[in-house]
Amino acid sequence: MVRSVVATRYVVPLREGGSLPAVVEANDDGLYVLKFRGAGQGPRALVAELLAGEIGRALGLPVPEIVLIELDPALGDAEPDPEIKDLITASGGVNLGLDFLPGALAFSPAVGPIPSPELAADIVWFDALVTNPDRTPQNPNIIVWHGAPWLIDHGAALVIHHTWRSPLEHARRPFGRIREHVLHAFAGPLVEADERLADKLGLDDLSAIAAGIPDAWLSHDPAIGDASAQRDAYVEYLLARLAPPRPFVEKAQGVRV
């Protein structure tokens, strides 16, 4: 289950990217990278962060712990930067946090360290499953901490939820953007990654992960319905995507160079 904590101190903004996340301290004395529900990307980005991140963790991939962070808008009262103050004010309630890994550096394939072929293949497989377009050489969304890679920033994944247009048909499509994956050239056989990973996710696993999405992030969607119906839709979509044969595996293997 995803833990819940309460933000007690705003520490520092992280100005990489457009959503202006921040490092905050919480009531468990931990530090977290907080993703604001009031940011421009909206709550669907938090849904994608939670679903994709927890799927990655269920697969045994290196994703920092994800928590739900309760944020009091009064935490921004002392902020001199009006942009930050407005963001905190707009994000009262439940937000998303990732365990802060101090001293982590951005991954670069030119510098490394390069993951093993097996781990690289597992990461490519995972990103193809959740339709994550944001793991490219220009924007790897991998950090290196204590010499090991960690996967971050999954807010662009699960692109289906921006329209919910023909979700079951979409689920059976390959993911063409996988050819741009930063680890594609370093990955071992993706069919072997498929054999390692596919059986780790089933109805119970996906339902438990989807159950952790807060109602506040799932306002009524005219294409799907209320929060409960949206959770069911995510699970149904992902199960259809996992049903064999998996076109996203064939496509990802086919574009290898």
The band of 153, judged by pLDDT with boundaries at 50, 70 and 90, is: very high
Provide mean pLDDT across the span 195-220.
97
For the cut 70, the answer to whether the pLDDT of residue 55 exceeds it is yes
The band of 206, judged by pLDDT with boundaries at 50, 70 and 90, is: very high
Residue 93's pLDDT is 97
For the cut 50, the answer to whether the pLDDT of residue 159 exceeds it is yes
For the cut 60, the answer to whether the pLDDT of residue 136 exceeds it is yes
Residue 251's pLDDT is 65
For the cut 90, the answer to whether the pLDDT of residue 201 exceeds it is yes
Whole-Å CA distances, 16 to 83, 141, 152, 153, 157: 15, 11, 13, 11, 18
Position with higher pLDDT, 255 vs 79: 79
Please give the Cα distance from 179 to 218 (Å, whole number). Answer: 31
For the cut 60, the answer to whether the pLDDT of residue 91 exceeds it is yes
- Mean of all residue pLDDT scores within the chain: 94
The band of 1, judged by pLDDT with boundaries at 50, 70 and 90, is: confident
Structure tokens at 155: 């807010």
Q: What are the residue ranges spanned by the domains of the chain?
A: 3-99, 105-254
The band of 18, judged by pLDDT with boundaries at 50, 70 and 90, is: low
pLDDT tens-digit readout, 233-250: 999 999 999 999 999 997
Residue 135's pLDDT is 95
Provide mean pLDDT across the span 17-26.
86
Structure tokens at 194: 């498929």
Report CA Rg, the chain.
18
Provide mean pLDDT across the span 70-78.
92
Residue 95's pLDDT is 98
Q: Please give the model's pTM, rounded to 2 decimal places.
A: 0.95
pLDDT tens-digit readout, 101-134: 999 999 999 888 999 999 999 999 999 999 999 9
Report the amino acid identity of residue 54: E
Please give the Cα distance from 10 to 12 (Å, whole number). Answer: 6
Residue found under tokens 């905050």: 24
